[in-house]
Chains A and B, each alone.
Chain A
Amino acid sequence: ARFSIYGRKWQKRSLTYRIENYTPDMSVAEVDASIGKALQVWAKVTPLRFTRIYSGIADIMISFVRREHGDFNSFDGPGNTLAHAFAPGDGLGGDAHFDDDESFTFRSSRGVVLFIVAAHEFGHSLGLGHSNVPGALMYPTYSYRNPDTFVLPQDDVRGIQYLYGPNSRKDPSVDDPKPPTTPDACDSNMVLDAVTTHRGEIIFFKDSFLWRSFPQSQTPQQSLIRSLWPSAPVDIDAAYESRQLDTVFLFKGRKVWAFTGNQPVRGYPKTLTAFGLPKGVRKIDAALHDVNSGKTLFFVGNNYFSYDESRKTMEQGYPRLVNQAFAGLTRRVTAAFQHKGYTYIYSGPYVYEYDLGTGTRHRELRNSYFLRC
């Protein structure tokens, strides 16, 4: 799984760009800033430098157009195709066109973030093709990402440096954030952040990614959490599904987000205390909803709490020690879910299959058991 190139690249390191026109969706300053920032994504990791010109022909001509716009590659109205760009070369080479039937935004997830789309298209302008690594900037489908915290992923760094080499003028004393990598479902040492079910799917969370495992398909589908829930946190602590409410709850620190399908539930995020947890609990490690009893167990270190979903109160007599309810469980619980009547407790890279009613452990499995490597 990796980046691809067109085999064509710029022979010079100093490139010019020109913004030919503007979208009415954003202010001129926002468009200028988005385009400039998108080019810097690539300049930061290569010897390439970009200079803006305001007239004449630039290497990268940037325009907002609709439908048929003169390059025999018409746009298709709102949705579907958002933009396209051409590989390095004369004429159209390097140019980037943005479909102005889209609703572009500066940073809001309510539309399409121009910076993200532009950074992707400029990858093409510099000679990159699409990558099949979910989470790579050069992955073909759009996913919302916060422009303020964006870091070019490792696969894209590898791709562009394959064409142009690293940034020779980078100040070695400056520590750039480490490029994020895409977790590998078959990595036997991976520790999942959380696991939950939702409407018949099993959803596994790791970093800013999730895998969705559908009953009718073999291959779990990996994608960015925010391609499903743009307003969701990443690097979450726990998740569980309340079937009564048809809702998935995601926990991170003291906050809890809620989604039904791919829609956020109004009034969230709430705090852990809204789930009956004492104020002193700053985060939870895992959550497990027991379909039979209607109780939800919250795991915190060696202890767990039991929350009565119907009464919306914490049960008396908790927290209790985890290994009182789960025989042989000596290490921290990292994720938990129920599947076909069995309870699966993740601890590090292992999964333990329990009968929750008796607390007996049936099997010890590897974390990739449900991820079908």
Chain B
Amino acid sequence: TAVLSVPLSEVSVEDESFAKNYLKKFFNLTEEEGPAVRRGISPVNKKLAEMQRFFGLQITGSLDADTLAMMKKPRCGVPDEQV
């Protein structure tokens, strides 16, 4: 984990794809359809908030530097949210 705070602008498209796979693997992100999505609550934002809550991060619902840093830590492959 770098002590330097990574400026937000540095989240790349690759990071976003990494984050999406992370949320699928560990927080049961599924490709949802339906009213909630149409109202703009993206499943990814929802799952990001759940992940941030689990790890005690600031709950922003968006892919910020802290969240990405936590996702990149070495970890166990068992999901954090059981189906």
Given contacts A129-B82, A214-B5, contact A84 B58 (CB under 8 A): no
Return 17 A-B CB contacts under 8 Å, by A number. Answer: A79-B74, A80-B72, A83-B76, A85-B78, A121-B76, A129-B82, A130-B78, A130-B80, A132-B80, A141-B73, A214-B66, A216-B5, A216-B8, A219-B58, A221-B66, A261-B3, A262-B2
Beta-carbon nearest neighbor of A4 in chain B:
B82
Asked if A82 and B4 sit within 8 Å, CB to CB, the answer is no
A224 to nearest B CB, angstroms? Answer: 11
Asked if A142 and B77 sit within 8 Å, CB to CB, the answer is no
User: What are the residues of chain B within 8 A of A200 when measuring CB–CB?
Assistant: 5
Q: Does B75 contact A (CB under 8 A)?
A: yes
Q: Does A228 contact B (CB under 8 A)?
A: yes
Asked if A81 and B55 sit within 8 Å, CB to CB, the answer is no
Beta-carbon nearest neighbor of A7 in chain B:
B82
- State the A residues within 8 Å of B (CB): 4, 6, 73, 75, 79-85, 99, 102, 112, 117, 120-121, 124, 129-130, 132, 134, 140-142, 198-201, 212, 214-219, 221-222, 227-228, 261-262
Beta-carbon nearest neighbor of A5 in chain B:
B82
B77 to nearest A CB, angstroms? Answer: 3
Chain B interface category by residue count:
20 to 34
| Interface class of chain B by DSSP | loop
Among A6, A84, A228, contact of B76 (Cβ-Cβ < 8 Å): A84
Q: A73 to B78: give the CA distance in the assembly, Å.
A: 10
Q: A329 to B73: give the CA distance in the assembly, Å.
A: 42
Beta-carbon nearest neighbor of B74 in chain A:
A142
A123 to nearest B CB, angstroms? Answer: 9
Asked if A262 and B5 sit within 8 Å, CB to CB, the answer is no
Q: A262 to B5: give the CA distance in the assembly, Å.
A: 12
User: What are the residues of chain B within 8 A of A134 when measuring CB–CB?
Assistant: 56
Given contacts A140-B26, A214-B66, contact A129 B78 (CB under 8 A): yes
Q: Select the residue from A80, A201, A262 with max chain B CB neighbours within 10 A.
A: A80
Beta-carbon nearest neighbor of B5 in chain A:
A214
User: What are the residues of chain A within 8 A of B11 when measuring CB–CB?
Assistant: none
Q: Does B9 contact A (CB under 8 A)?
A: no
| Interface class of chain A by DSSP | loop
Beta-carbon nearest neighbor of B80 in chain A:
A130
Number of A-B contacts (CB under 8 A): 94
Asked if B77 and A83 sit within 8 Å, CB to CB, the answer is yes
User: What are the residues of chain A within 8 A of B82 when measuring CB–CB?
Assistant: 4, 6, 129
Q: Select the residue from A130, A215, A262 with max chain B CB neighbours within 10 A.
A: A130
Nearest first, the 4 A-B pairs at minimum CB distance are A84-B77, A81-B77, A217-B58, A141-B73
Asked if B75 and A124 sit within 8 Å, CB to CB, the answer is no
Q: Select the residue from B1, B3, B78, B82 with max chain A CB neighbours within 10 A.
A: B78
User: What are the residues of chain B within 8 A of A212 when measuring CB–CB?
Assistant: 3
Q: Does B41 contact A (CB under 8 A)?
A: no
User: What are the residues of chain B within 8 A of A82 when measuring CB–CB?
Assistant: 74-77
Q: A221 to B1: give the CA distance in the assembly, Å.
A: 12
Beta-carbon nearest neighbor of A99 in chain B:
B77
Given contacts A4-B82, A228-B1, contact A142 B56 (CB under 8 A): no
User: What are the residues of chain B within 8 A of A117 when measuring CB–CB?
Assistant: 76
User: What are the residues of chain A within 8 A of B70 when measuring CB–CB?
Assistant: 141
Asked if A142 and B73 sit within 8 Å, CB to CB, the answer is yes
Asked if B75 and A80 sit within 8 Å, CB to CB, the answer is yes
User: What are the residues of chain B within 8 A of A124 when measuring CB–CB?
Assistant: 76, 78
Q: A142 to B72: give the CA distance in the assembly, Å.
A: 11
A105 to nearest B CB, angstroms? Answer: 13
Task: Encode B37-79 as 1/0 by CB contact (under 8 A) with A.
Answer: 0000000000000000011111110001010001011111111
User: What are the residues of chain A within 8 A of B1 when measuring CB–CB?
Assistant: 227-228, 262
Q: A261 to B79: give the CA distance in the assembly, Å.
A: 30
Asked if A112 and B74 sit within 8 Å, CB to CB, the answer is yes
Task: Encode B1-27 as 1/0 by CB contact (under 8 A) with A.
Answer: 111110010000000000000000010
